[in-house]
């Protein structure tokens, strides 16, 4: 925290400090003095230029005990964060798509044990990287079929173009095995896929980084699940999610596209640099306005804090929402059952991972990663959530700042939320 604070420019700090008092609001009737420290910490993160603003929800025993909102939707124009501010979820889209898969399983339309080739035959002939360079690559055949479960747990062998420098990552970049996103893109990358079907074709042709089931590799696996949802349901991914997830849960502000008046509440995107927060995407240049953008269920949804609170509440209630069963308790248990470990979490402890959700442990709590017995995930813009179904408790935290190394391990968002909710 000290290193981050020192790096930030006085210009940003002065801009925020001048009117912060009017832009920090803990909702009356919900305030609990247990969270006074957290309020001060979150407000300091705005005044010190660590984040533009935030919205935080804490729920205990099914009741909201803390709701705080501070800072800016746009620093340049000093427009304040509002309850209906739209945030880029990035990878916090993944749990939503994972739940959609479970809805299809409950409907008998697929199984987590199904091979991917059942829906996308090209994956039957997938090859696995063994050694060599991009231009002289040695591969081997699959030892077993890749499954829906492998995709859910990110143990499929698929990767992301920006998560490494191996020959497989080089292949992804050269041949555009990616969607058009500012995260990890280079000017030398090949043209990105235009749509989900095209990206699926490219993923099927690309070498796998390892054999399915061998280890955790963060990847386009959830993106591929979105294509499987389309093929199984006969609907576009946005239409299926709207009908099966968003409408039943009252998530009226969760979307792939942000247009018209909705742009007025779309938060500006920032990246953390040595000299402060740098604007990288705003309402004028965002690809969310493009109605032809790739429907990536792994990282392309926008949503509000209230909408994500509804989704998290369903999970914390073991699949029930507003007194009705949205997803069976058995399906929730399936999502939250450990499938693989994340050995390179970036913390001092390994993290277990289920079907789209990280699983917190006592060791993760000690490392300020996640509380024990919680399930959740986060996004590249530092949106964070976790739930504990045993206590019907949850945390939803929304901000919008990408933190590349070394800042990704220095920002104290998780630490503050964990301290406030566990006393650790």
Across the range 212-223, mean pLDDT stands at 97
Tens digit of pLDDT for each residue in 270-326?
Answer: 999 999 999 999 999 999 999 999 999 999 999 999 999 999 999 999 999 999 999
CATH code of the domain occupying 100-232: 3.40.710.10
- Across the chain, what does the average pLDDT equal? 93
pLDDT at 225 over 50: yes
The proportion of the chain whose per-residue pLDDT surpasses 90, expressed as a percent, equals 88
DSSP state of 243: I
**Is the pLDDT at 10 greater than 60, yes or no?**
no
**Per-residue model confidence (pLDDT) at position 11:** 37
Question: Given this model, what pLDDT does residue 72 score?
Answer: 98
The predicted-structure confidence for 88-138, as pLDDT tens digits, reads as follows: 999 999 999 999 999 999 999 999 999 999 999 999 999 999 999 999 999
Strand pairing report for 320-321 and 375-378: unpaired
Two structure tokens written together for 282:
């705003």
DSSP structural state of residue 208: B
Asked, as a colleague might, if the bond just before 402 is cis with ω within 30 of 0, I would say no
CA distance 90 to 2: 27
* Three-state secondary structure call for residue 367: coil
pLDDT top residue among 26 and 81: 81
Q: pLDDT band at residue 357, thresholds of 50, 70 and 90?
A: very high
Rounding to the nearest 10 degrees, give the CA dihedral for residues 181, 187, 190, 194. 30
Q: Which helix (H) or strand (E) holds 272?
A: strand 269-273
Question: Alpha-carbon dihedral of residues 216, 222, 228, 233, nearest 10 degrees?
Answer: 140
Q: How many C-alpha atoms does 416 have within 13 Å on its Cβ side?
A: 20
Q: Mark 129-165 as b/e (b = at least 16 C-beta within 10 Å).
A: beeeeeeebeeeebeeebbbbbbbbbbbbbbbbbeee
Contact present, 43 and 238 (Cβ < 8 Å): no
Q: Is the pLDDT of residue 2 over 60?
A: no
Each residue of 57-76: pLDDT tens digit? 999 999 999 999 999 999 99
The answer to whether residue 353 scores a pLDDT higher than 60 is yes
Q: What is the mean pLDDT of residues 397-414?
A: 94
How far apart, in whole angstroms, are the C-alpha atoms of residue 185 and residue 380?
Answer: 14
Q: Which residues of 383-418 are buried (b: 16+ CB within 10 A; e: fewer)?
A: bbbbbbbeebbbbbbbbbbbbeeebeeebbbbebbb
Strands (E), 13-133: 24-26, 53-60, 63-74, 79-80, 87-88, 127-133
Domain definitions of the chain by residue range = 100-232
What's the start-to-end Cα distance of the chain, in Å? 18
């Amino acid at each position: 925290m000290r290193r981050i604070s020192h790096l930030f420019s006085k210009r940003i700090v002065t801009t925020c400090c001048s009117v912060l008092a009017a832009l920090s609001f803990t909702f009356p009737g919900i305030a609990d003095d247990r969270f006074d420290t957290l309020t001060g910490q979150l407000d300091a993160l705005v005044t010190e230029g660590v984040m533009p603003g935030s919205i935080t929800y804490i729920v205990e025993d099914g009741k909201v005990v803390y709701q705080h909102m501070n800072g800016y939707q746009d620093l340049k124009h000093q427009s304040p964060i509002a309850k209906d501010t739209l945030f880029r979820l990035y990878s916090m889209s993944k749990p939503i798509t994972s739940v959609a898969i479970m809805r299809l399983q409950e409907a008998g339309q697929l199984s987590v044990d199904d091979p991917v080739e059942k829906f996308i035959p090209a994956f039957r002939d997938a090859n696995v990287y063994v050694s060599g360079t991009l231009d002289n690559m040695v591969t081997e055949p699959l030892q077993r079929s890749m499954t829906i479960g492998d995709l859910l747990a990110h143990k499929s062998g698929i990767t992301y173009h920006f998560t490494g420098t191996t020959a497989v990552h080089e292949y992804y970049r050269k041949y555009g095995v990616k969607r058009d996103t500012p995260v990890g893109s280079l000017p030398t990358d090949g043209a990105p896929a235009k749509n989900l079907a095209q990206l699926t074709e490219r993923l099927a042709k690309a070498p796998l980084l390892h054999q399915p089931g061998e280890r955790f590799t963060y990847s386009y696996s959830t993106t591929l699940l979105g294509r499987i949802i389309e093929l199984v349901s006969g609907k576009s991914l946005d239409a299926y999610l709207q009908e099966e997830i968003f409408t039943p849960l009252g998530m009226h502000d969760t979307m792939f596209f942000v247009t018209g008046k909705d742009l007025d509440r779309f938060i500006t995107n920032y990246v953390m640099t040595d000299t402060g927060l740098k604007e990288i995407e705003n309402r004028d240049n965002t690809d969310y306005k493009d109605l032809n953008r790739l429907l990536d269920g792994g990282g392309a949804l926008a949503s509000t804090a209230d909408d994500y609170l509804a989704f998290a509440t369903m999970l914390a209630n073991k699949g029930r929402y507003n007194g009705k069963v949205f997803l069976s308790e058995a399906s929730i248990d399936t999502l939250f059952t450990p499938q693989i470990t994340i050995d390179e979490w970036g913390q001092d402890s390994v993290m277990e991972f289920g079907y789209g959700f990280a699983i917190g442990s006592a060791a993760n709590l000690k490392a300020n990663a996640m509380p024990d017995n919680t399930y959740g995930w986060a996004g590249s813009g530092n949106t964070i959530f976790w739930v504990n179904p045993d206590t019907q408790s949850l945390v939803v935290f929304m901000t919008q700042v990408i933190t590349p190394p070394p800042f990704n391990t220095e920002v104290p968002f998780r630490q503050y939320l964990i301290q406030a909710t566990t006393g650790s």
